[in-house]
Structure 1
Amino acid sequence: MLFLIWLTLLSTAFARRIIRATSLVPCMDNSGVQASKFDVTFTPDDRTLAFDVSLDVEVSGTVYADIVLYVYGFRAIHERIDPCKSSALQQLCPLSTGEIDIISQTQVSGSVVRDIPGVAYTVPNIDAFAIVKVYTNDTDELKACIRADVTNTKTVEQTAVKWVTACLCGAGILVSALLTYIGSSYTSQKIAATSTLLFTYFQSMAIVNMEAVDRVPPIANAWTENVVWSVGLVRATFMQDIFRWFVQSTGGHPATYLIYSTISVLTQRKRDLSNVPPRVADHYQFHEETKRLASAAAPVVTSLTKRANELAKETYAKPNHYLVVYRGIKRVGYSMGIEVTSIVLTSYTIYGFIVFCMVIIFLALWAFFGFMKRKPEVLEKHRHAAQYVPMLSMVLKGIMLKLIMFSFPGVIMFSMWEWVQQDSAAVIVLSVFFFICTLVILCWNVFQVLRIARRSSKETGTAAFLLYSHAPTMHRYGFLYHEYNSRFYYFGALNLLYQFVVLLFIAFSQSSGQTQGLAIFLIELAVLIVVCVYRPWMDRGLNIINILMQIVKTLNAMFYLFFSNLFTQPLEVNSIMGVVYFVLNAAFSCFLLIYIIVVCALMLFRRKHQEADAVNVRDDRMSFISDNVVRQEAAGELAALGQAAQADHEVGDDVDWYKSQENPFESGPLDSSYRNSQRTSTMNTSTSIPTFGDLQEGMFRHGHSESQTSFGLSGSDEKSDKKGKKWWVF
């Protein structure tokens, strides 16, 4: 990813230098000049300025234009143009009302070219715009104000970056799923927790970018567009055609801004009272009138007042009958080439496709194991894989639940937003269905985890016993708690609650970016404080990386709080923050990617030494994990100790007995003398937490299969037998 970013920046140095403006936005009320088409291109190499403009003019007479170019909020060029003195603009002298079409080009003086800094042509997504004010020659009266956004056609939004990030996250999730299937050891848990960090981070960036703030700096918006696939927004032309037909056929009115150019679209925000209930519109107009009368009645200012920013008023776009302004979710969808009425359906379809592919993969595995059962020679060759066949259905359920958890932010956010958007009746029904199914499934699983942990704490004194010793429970519900310390198993539920509250503000507060910015910043700050105090993850490494990620998420929320113009800060502050946002997130994404690759590689290469690595886990989960690799290592160590103890003296029948019990954990029920010695040496009446040896001894004493993984505890077996049931079987 870092190589792709540097390659993008380097390629701009060899590309053709160009500055272009393709949108003309009014920056004052009742502006006398409106644009239905605007395309102005400047090439400094030949000093050519080309025009292709269609204007609707309501100003007549001789006028002049005052043009100011701002780069990152700073004034770069200030020029005055008189159409009567320019050969290319002679048709505008004098100016007459009506529609005017201009297709021409002119030469710019060399001094103007020298005044434009070189970075204006090379820096991707340059934050630049021009303010054009039209005055009458006679009275210098301001008749029109228009703003043109300027770009150099360089961008950090790259298709290669989207594919690389998506493939890396997909590979991490797939490896996590496969390792969950292979076993529930420390190695698989650590890799599963690490490999999903990148996907979670990308989702947080995409969600915060959907705040309906007044203006997002171009470089910040472009970089975030590289990761919006994480919430299911992926453009496919045939899908847009299908969704357009579906919305129209179910009583909706599909948007057609992407296939027709009858109206310009600026991806910012507007307040439109035509689509809100009359009572709300009347309240808003009454509120505005009350503020106007109150300000007129106040003769003097006797307290602190909010500072004004005239340039910001001219910068933030206002809609009219020529212009539609998109901000928030609509801005992101339109920037991705997705119609506004197709955003919800696109997200649902992408997540459904991913689930379908995962089901196909596991059906193939199921068929493979079915083939192994019919072929003894193949079964013998793949004996290690065949021992996991009884757990396949439970693992498939766990992976499906994990995919539902990954799709939770996108599905919940777009479902709630659809209730406000109301594209069509059928889409609303689908949104209710997906919302209820996703929320009910995850809430039920959270309830099950809390119930099992509470029973385990009550019966054994630790929540880790039933959460990690019972293999079906670990495979099915482990995605909610395995990355956390066993004492903080409930943080999975708190994480879902935190995401849900953030999504509520994103979905229902699209009319107020300042509300979203302030609320989400406070939420992220509160979460940062909580994770710094409790440090709930399974080991020190995960705690450090997750706290760093939460710091970056909090800074991102702070940036968007400033982008909402809540503090009416100067525009250069927003522009500089946009650059800092890009550098911070690009650097952290690369760091996170390198960290994940290094950690996963080390864990895989050192898998045989996972018990030594598990010392970093500050809980007792490894005492209860019933994993094959752990059992084999424990058996090997036990055999080595036995051989060392017998090396110094003669042995008789004990040798034959020891050889018959070379691997006691896999040879069936243990001899009564061995079992009694194990009970005497391992059980401690002063504590209620069983050891690994107790769990294995109890398992084989009761004769249960490995897939059931049921365990017996001293003192509780007779009690459970009297009741006629075993409490540890779910």
Structure 2
Amino acid sequence: MFFSVARLRLPLLALAFFQISSTQARERSLFTSSVSYCAPPESLLVQQFDIAYIEKNSSVSFNVSIASVIRNTNVTANLLVNVYGMQPLNLTLELCSVFGGALCPLPTYNFTGSDSITLPPSVRDQVTSKIPGIAYQIPDLEAFAQLTLTDSSSGKLRACIQSTLSNGWSARQMAVEWSTGGIGLLAFLSAVWHSYIPHSLAPIRLLDVMFLFQAIAVSGLWSLNYPLVYQAFTQNFSWALGLFPVSNDSPMQRSIDHMRQLTGGKFENAGGGSAISLVNRRISPYNQPAARSFIARAVDGATAADVPQTASNSSLAGSNFLVGGDVVTVTQNSPNVLQAGLPIYVTSVGIDTPNAFMTIFLTNLIILVICVAALGLGYLCLLALRRTSWAKQREDKLDSAIAAYPTFARAWGLRIVLIILTPVLVFTFYQWTLKDSWLSILLSVILLLAIAAALGFALYTLYRRRSDPDISSHHSSIEPLVAPYRPQRFYYGSIVLLAMFVKALVTAFAKGQGKVQAILILVVEGLFFGVLVVMKPHRTRGADVFAGYLSLTRTACTGLTIAFSQSLALAPIPRVVIGIVIAVIFSISVVVMFLNIVYNLVLWIWARGRSRKEGTTVLPSRASSSAASVENGQDKKDEEKLPTASVTPASSSHFYARPGNPAPSHTPTTASWRSPPLSAVSQMSERPSQYSGTTASSTLGETLPRRWSFQHSRPPSGSVESSHATLSYVTSPSAPVSMYTNPRHSRQPSSPSDRYSQEADSHIR
């Protein structure tokens, strides 16, 4: 029964935390959201069909315009209401037996009217008992009403009209689109602001944010029978693919239509109608196979003379409709039907399927022009600033910035390429499957070759310089590919690119096979998560945990989408529940990403303020922890050259290499009350870069770095070396000093000095 919809109450509570509701009061009502013919129009031509039921006053408002064109036709009307696969109403009427026979035979005239009628108490009680309260609140209600007229004598189908129902609530909200866009903009501005800081976390988080939003959007492109609520949720992130919601008659879309017509385009446009009215009748929101089979049998029984030609509704072309634009005919064999996946997705945001690639192409072209203009303007500003009097005191810094600017620009160019890579691959490959418009295919090939050249050059530089100890520092132009990862895992960025390429191939070329798409992408995500767990590629444990959380989220959500496969024929209500669960899981990941960005940004601002309060010119996170060991009278420039601190990415806006042993700014000595063993002194003299010799001075009374410690000797064991206590330390001038405890740093030595330290300790013991 219809009351089974009440099972959706608990999932709706979980959905509410990301569903931004309107603050204004909304009337509880049900109304038609789209209208289409479910059989070629013959007896009735519909020009307008707006009907709404308002619960507050139990009234029905309508605004319809219908024309009857066949004479001497006696028909039987059947009204069927389908809600999540259930039929609370299935009523058949002999029109000759109602209204005193006024509709028998069917009158041939145009009926146009609008009014609001209050239902009588007997009808009102019956309607109220059939519609539970949750039907007015559940977002993206899956319900439709179907009116069929059959000839009473021959049983032929004379008319069939389907109208989807809505309550006005949807998971697709303008506020959500702007909020997610704001998160992306915040990540972008933070990345730009921190770009001058080596190993900054903000540019890496920008890629993480965009990859997450694109993963959510791409999950709505697979050929699956999505519930409307999840389909609407993924459309909130269409902007991350370069698909900004537009009207079908926008200047850009009209230009693309004209270009396709001139270059061999063969696909018809959607005509600006609702995507729902054009969807395949095997998928949501049409969940009634019995009605479909009845319509199919009725249409098959009609003769060629009975079925009107497509020109029969040409008189409707000039009409203005309040719902769905032109009322289209959608049957089992209609050429204009929208299949599940990418066609429904792009049409829902106002873009025709064959226009999707060109929309992506023009959007990316605009982004490229803006980026080139911004980078060029930045370079001109540096040159202009170089000529001011203010720059005379900072001449060296400005010269260094100007010299490094081309590398900075190439790094940002690569970052933009990584951001647009997924949508370009998906829609380029999909355009090839359409074989529509030779100019679109040519432009797709040019765009793909340009991106392949940019990524190929970056990968060539990466593998050619793979022996560098820290390739991201020496080759900043490829920093987006290597900055998040340890030098030992410099190649991990290639694995990320490979996963993106394979998922784009599956999405585009396996269209129409939703179950295959979901399974293959689940395999890719599962393998990617396994590689991440085994390799632990990131510089710190916190970064590995965060990346693992995002990968596990994608894997779990991809696995759940298998339930939307048409071959499984899952009942509508469980499908909706699963869709809400996936939306909630993705929403939590978005919130976590936003909090991570804000936390790191606030932490950076706090550290900046603290450094200024203490009168320093560098951030505490970049200050040297061994500054206390600087000799009195030493120049301040030497203090600024000391190693920087190591901060975990989970709690800071910077990445740093694993800490090594501190580098003393002077020559420390052993304790003066005992002499070092001869063998230890001999070993120190053999490694002058790791061990310092003894002098007459002592470090007693001075503040020592935390990793410098006295290690007392063990009880005598017959060895001369074991009877002495010595000051054990190892210096590594190139290794940074850690001010924080991080267990991840013990994974393996980050420099040869760690091995020397272990050898020295074992020798002394």
**Alignment TM-score > 0.5, same fold:** yes
Deviations along 1:211-238, one digit per CA (max 9) or x if unpaired, are 122x322221112111111111124522
Aligned-pair CA distance for 1:404: 0.4
Preserved CA contact (<8 Å) 2:343 2:353: yes
Residue-by-residue CA offset, 1:407-442 (whole Å, 9 max, x unaligned): 001111111111122331211110000111112321
Residue 733 (structure 2) aligns with: 693
Deviation, 1:264, is 8.6
1:216 alignment partner, SS class: coil
Match of 1:157 in 2: 172
Aligned residue type for 1:183: I
Larger radius of gyration: 2
Q: Secondary structure at the match of 1:537?
A: coil
CA contact (8 A) 1:682 1:693 kept: no
d(CA) in 2 for partners of 1:3 and 1:574?
14
Q: Does 1:680 align with 2:701?
A: no
- The aligned counterpart of 1:329 is 342
Which residue in 2 is equivalent to 1:342? 355
Give, as a single letter, the amino acid of the residue that structure 2 aligns with 1:569.
L
Q: Which residue of 2 aligns with 1:71?
A: 83
- Equivalent AA in structure 2 for residue 212 of structure 1: S
- Correspondences of 1:330-729 after superposition (within 5 Å): 330-380=343-393, 387-453=400-466, 455-456=467-468, 465-470=469-474, 473=475, 475-606=476-607, 633-634=623-624, 637-638=626-627, 640-643=628-631, 658-659=634-635, 662-663=638-639, 665=641, 680-682=688-690, 693-694=733-734
Residue 538 to residue 117, structure 1, CA distance change in 2 (3 Å): farther
Aligned partner of residue 130 in structure 1, secondary structure: strand
SS at match of 1:42: strand
Does 1:48 find its partner at 2:49?
A: no
Describe the SS at the equivalent of 2:82.
Answer: strand
- Secondary structure (helix, strand or coil) at the match of 1:680 reads coil
Give the aligned partner of residue 83 of structure 1. Answer: 95
**Residue 203 (str. 1) matches residue 200 (str. 2):** no
Matched residues in 2 for 1:642 and 1:13: separation?
68
Deviation at 1:351, TM superposition (A): 1.6
Change (3 A) 1:382 1:150: farther
Distance 1:364 1:41 in 2: 56
The structure-2 alpha-carbon separation of the partners of 1:322 and 1:193, relative to structure 1 and needing over 3 Å to count, comes to closer
Q: What letter is aligned with 1:522?
A: V
Give the one of 111, 114, 117 matched to 2:125: 111
Q: What is the Cα deviation at residue 91 of structure 1?
A: 6.4
C-alpha distance 379-409 of structure 1, shift in aligned 2 (>3 A) = farther
- CA deviations over 1:151-194 (Å, ceiling 9, x no partner): 123323233322332232133134224423x1213xx1x23323
- Equivalent residues in 2 for 1:131-142 (5 A)? 131=146
**Which region of structure 1 is more displaced relative to structure 2, 543-552 or 374-383?**
374-383
For 1:248 and 1:208, how far apart are their aligned partners in 2? 31
Sequence identity (%): 19
Distance 1:34 1:549 in 2: 54
Matched, 1:234 2:235: no
Larger helix proportion of the pair: 1
**Equivalent-residue separation in structure 1 for 2:333 and 2:44 (angstroms):** 9
The equivalent residue for 2:32 is 20
- SS of alignment partner, residue 19 of structure 1: strand
Residues 1:379 and 1:560: Cα distance change in structure 2 (over 3 Å): farther
**Quick one: structure 1 residues 682 and 354, their matched pair in 2 at CA, closer, same or farther if it must change by over 3 Å?**
farther
* Comparing 487-496 and 190-199, the one that deviates more: 190-199
Question: Secondary structure of 2:623's match?
Answer: helix
Q: Which amino acid aligns with 2:205?
A: T
Q: State the alpha-carbon separation in 2 of the partners of residues 692 and 221 from structure 1.
A: 56
Given that residues 264 and 322 in structure 1 are in contact (C-alpha distance below 8 angstroms), is that contact kept between their aligned partners in structure 2? no
- Once structures 1 and 2 are overlaid, which stretch shifts more, 16-25 or 193-202? 16-25
User: Which structure 2 residue ranges, 5 or more long, are not aligned?
Assistant: 1-13, 297-329, 612-616, 643-664, 669-683, 693-729, 737-751, 754-765
- Which whole-Å CA distance do the structure 1 matches of 2:520 and 2:161 have between them? 33
**CA RMSD of the aligned region, Å?**
4.5
Kindly state the Cα deviation for residue 553 of structure 1 after the two structures are TM-superposed. 2.0
Q: Which moved more, 1:46-55 or 1:480-489?
A: 46-55
Q: Distance in 2 between matches of 1:516 and 1:33?
A: 43
Question: What is the CA–CA distance in structure 2 between the aligned matches of 1:664 and 1:322, rounded to whole Å?
Answer: 71
Against the structure 1 CA distance between its residues 313 and 566, is the aligned structure 2 distance closer, same or farther, given a 3 Å change threshold? farther
Tell me if 1:172 matches 2:173. no
What are the Cα deviations for residues 253-304 of structure 1, in whole angstroms up to 9, with x where unaligned? 5744335x7x997353599xxxxxxxxxxxxxxxxxxxxxxxxxxxxxxxxx
Tell me if the contact between 2:279 and 2:339 (Cα under 8 Å) persists in the aligned partners.
Answer: yes
Alpha-carbon contact 1:12-1:154 (below 8 Å) kept = no
Contact 1:266 1:326 in 2 (8 A): no
- In the TM superposition, residue 535 of structure 1 has moved relative to its aligned partner by 3.9
The CA deviation at 1:204 is 0.7
Moved more, 170-179 or 414-423: 170-179
Match of 1:194 in 2: 205
Structure 2 distance, partners of 1:371, 1:246, is: 43
- Residue of structure 1 equivalent to 2:226: 216
The structural deviation recorded for 1:328 is 2.3
1:674-729 deviations in whole A, cap 9, x for unaligned? Answer: 89999825379xxxxx9861489xxxxxxxxxxxxxxxx99xxxxxxxxxxxxxxx
Q: Which residue of 2 aligns with 1:708?
A: none
Counterpart Cα distance in 2 of 1:77 and 1:68: 6
For the pair 1:9 / 2:60, whether they are aligned, the reply is: no
Could you tell me which runs of 5 or more consecutive residues in structure 1 were left unpaired when the two chains were aligned.
272-307, 457-464, 611-626, 647-654, 667-671, 685-689, 697-712, 715-730
Match of 1:39 in 2: 49
1:120 corresponds to which of 135, 139, 147: 135
Q: Which residue of structure 2 aligns with residue 613 of structure 1?
A: none
Cα deviation for residue 7 of structure 1 reads: 7.7
Relative contact order, CA 8 A, sep 6+: which one is greater? Answer: 1
Partner of 1:258: 271
Over 3 Å counting, the alpha-carbon distance change for 1:660 and 1:243 in structure 2 is: closer
Q: Using the alignment, how far apart are the partners of 2:18 and 2:266 within structure 1?
A: 43
Which segment is superposed worse, 235-244 or 73-82? Answer: 73-82
Cα shift at 1:401: 0.6
**8 Å contact from structure 1 (residues 217, 578) kept in 2:** yes
Q: Which amino acid aligns with 2:623?
A: E
Change (3 A) 1:81 1:40: farther
Deviation of 1:365 (Å) = 1.9
The CA deviation string for residues 127-149 of structure 1, in whole angstroms up to 9 with x for no partner, is 22335566776899999876542
- 2:277 maps to a residue whose letter is L
- Work out whether residues 43 and 70 of structure 2, in 8 Å CA contact, stay in contact via their aligned partners in 1: yes
Q: Match of 1:570, as an amino acid?
A: A
